[in-house]
Amino acid sequence: MEEHVGKLWHKLVTRAANRRHAEAVVSLDEIGKTAGVFFRALGGDGGLNLSAAPSTRHGARRRWLERLAASGEKVELCWRDGETLRLPERIDLFAERSLNRDLYLWLVALSAAEIDESQPWIVRNQQATQQTLQRFPGLKTRYQRLVEAFLKLRRLPTILPEDEAAQEHAIRAALLKPGSVDDLPSARRPFQPVPLWLHPNPPLAKTGKTAAGEGAPERESASKETAQSRRKLVAEREEMPDGKDGFLMLFRAESLFSWTEYIKVNRPQDEEEHADNAARAAEDMDSLTVARDAQTSAARLRFDLDLPAAAEDDAVLGEGISLPEWDWKKRVLQPDYCRLQEMVARQAAPCELPQPLRRTARRLRSQFQALAPTKQWLRMQPEGEEIDLDAWLLHETDRLAGLGGGERGLYRAHIDRQRDLACLLLADLSLSTDAYASNDARVIDVIRDSLFLFSEALSATGDRFALYGFSSLKRSHVRFHRLKSFDERYDGQTRGRITAIKPGYYTRMGAAIRQGSKLLAEQPNSQRLLLLLTDGKPNDLDRYEGRYGIEDTREAIREARALGLRPFCVTIDREANDYLPHLFGPSGYALIRKPEDLPKELPLLYAQMTH
């Protein structure tokens, strides 16, 4: 009975303390696509990802009902860093849904402004507001409606202590007349949160020393994005605690408001028995602290086993190629920063096309033969190789009828309609391709079938093409697998190399694109297509992660266009819409939502691009 009454009391107090409007809520999942387009349309950094902001404690004065219900301690505010634009996961501040939606759009517009980060928080937000309203006067009406509705929700300065009232007066003045406040008065307690502005002190992860070989592992599969996957937690890195075996508590733990338990986590292990419980526990924590234990030799042993012996590895061609890499923070191209090694399969016996693909290959070849170079006769020409009998007969008929022969051409001229086109296909052979695209096929198997059918189709057109695969293990070991060069024929040897492809390591995409661009630029054809086939973002063990890898890849694509090439990406990554428009442009990529359809879709995409 006591427990039942307690639950009813908790429900009653929580409902009374809740000042949100669930019936008018707008979520980030609903407006995420619009927000991304709006941010870039207003001139925002196209390389930023869109993500949900974690809740942070504000420390400001709360109403007595909120203190009684132990609610209202956290708030979701907007901020941006070098890689991500973080917006509230949901906004239900106002009773009108349109106002909540307008608040999302206003925060996006405010984030697109370029401001001096060294200025105080209240000055920064006023500058951003002024700049946004000057550049986009159409937002002024929405901003005024938001301010008017928001000030009605804030606590009146008359009921606050003197120091907090001075802060509130300053914030209200800055909202109503941006640029009128130069400083925020000090107070004993933090000010009330201002959801119309950017976060005053965004939680940033502590930067620590990175161990050799540390980096984010390749994502094994693309998971469907949900509202829960958008939510991010504040994380920080710390040194390994000394007391790894726990501690002896000489007091009652119940007397503590909260306590933290150290748990050893084996990151490479994906299948945990209590993964759901761990996820729920993580949601209740203010921040996640991660430390590296140098004694975890199992993960290191796993990476060593992934490195094949020289006798078992692919054959090395040449001494390697030095390539530059773009540092987006310094905005410089670092010369000779990467080492690319061209390789060819050592054990690749010539073979025929796999039996399951032969029927599809025959159909594709018959379709693509229509694109092959053809001979065509032009009628009624003033000169040519043969007499046009139809034109001559018409001419004689008109002459005998007294109508005159006219100036009609009497010859047929023969022309050759050639496809002056070269295509280089780069296939991502990173570790993530070892994941399963469907119940019975891995991503690498889907890529292998795609290469087979792509080659069969292009052989029917007579177009010149080359096939390469790539993966990487840091900047000093970018593996560039030659499957078919431009000078080689598509035959059993090429099919043997395609059969021999296997998942590699990581995805240093910029270096592979630069080498592919160099090979393609050497071809004399008037049209040159650089086709990238991938299943995820640029990624490697070192700092080639996140924004760094994205911007290097973008710079490599820009260099390819400067050489007169046409880069195009075909991907099966469900999150590709978050970053590929920044890399290739809105019309420079294609997303195949069902990976198993890639072998059939790839040749058809090529036909559409080169018809």
Which pLDDT score, from 0 to 100, does residue 207 have?
A: 42
- Which residues fall within 8 angstroms of residue 99, CB to CB, at 6 or more apart? 24, 93, 145, 146, 149
Name 412's bridge partners: 386
Give the three-state DSSP class for 313. Answer: coil
The radius of gyration of the chain from alpha carbons, rounded to an integer in Å, stands at 32
- 163: enclosing H helix or E strand: helix 162-176
Q: Identify the sign of the CA torsion 154, 175, 112, 57.
A: negative
> What is the phi/psi pair of residue 208, to 5°?
-130, 180
Distance of CA 197 to the CA centre of its chain: 27
Give the CA diameter of the chain. 124
Taken in order of first residue, the domains within the chain and their CATH numbers are: 2-176 (no CATH), 227-306 (no CATH), 315-367+419-610 (3.40.50.410), 374-417 (no CATH)
* Cα 79 from Cα 72, distance rounded (Å): 20
Distance in Å from the first CA to the final CA of the chain: 77
CA trace torsion 602, 605, 606, 611 (10° rounding): 150
Which pLDDT score, from 0 to 100, does residue 223 have?
A: 41
Which pLDDT score, from 0 to 100, does residue 299 have?
A: 41
Pairing of strands 90-91, 26-27: antiparallel
DSSP 8-state symbol, 432: G
Check: CB of residue 75 under 8 Å from CB of residue 58.
yes
Q: Tens of pLDDT along 544-598?
A: 988 999 999 999 999 999 999 999 999 999 888 888 989 998 889 999 998 999 9
Burial 493-506 (b: 16+ CB within 10 A, else e): bbbbbbbbbebbbb
Burial 519-544 (b: 16+ CB within 10 A, else e): bbbebeeebbbbbbbbbbbbbbbbeb
- pLDDT below 70 — which residues of the chain? 204-309, 311, 371-377, 404-408, 414-418
Q: How many residues does the chain have?
A: 611
pTM greater than 0.85: no
* Cα 463 from Cα 422, distance rounded (Å): 6
Distance of CA 276 to the CA centre of its chain: 26
Q: Tens of pLDDT along 250-306?
A: 545 444 444 444 555 544 444 445 555 666 556 556 566 665 554 544 444 434 445
Which pLDDT score, from 0 to 100, does residue 544 have?
A: 92
**DSSP-assigned states of every residue in 198-250:** B-SS---PPP-PPPTT--PPPPSS-PPP-HHHHB---EEE-PPPS-TT----S
| % residues pLDDT > 90 (the chain) | 47
Which pLDDT score, from 0 to 100, does residue 89 have?
A: 92
Distance of CA 60 to the CA centre of its chain: 37
Q: How many CB atoms lie within 10 A of CB 141?
A: 10
> Which tokens hold the place of 74?
């956290």
Which pLDDT score, from 0 to 100, does residue 400 have?
A: 81
Region of residue 336 (phi > 0: left; psi between -120 and 50: alpha; otherwise: beta): left
94 residue type, one letter: F
**DSSP-assigned states of every residue in 547-573:** HHHHHHHHHHHHHHHHTT-EEEEEE--
Which pLDDT score, from 0 to 100, does residue 497 have?
A: 95
Which pLDDT score, from 0 to 100, does residue 268 have?
A: 44
> What is the phi/psi pair of residue 334, to 5°?
-80, 115
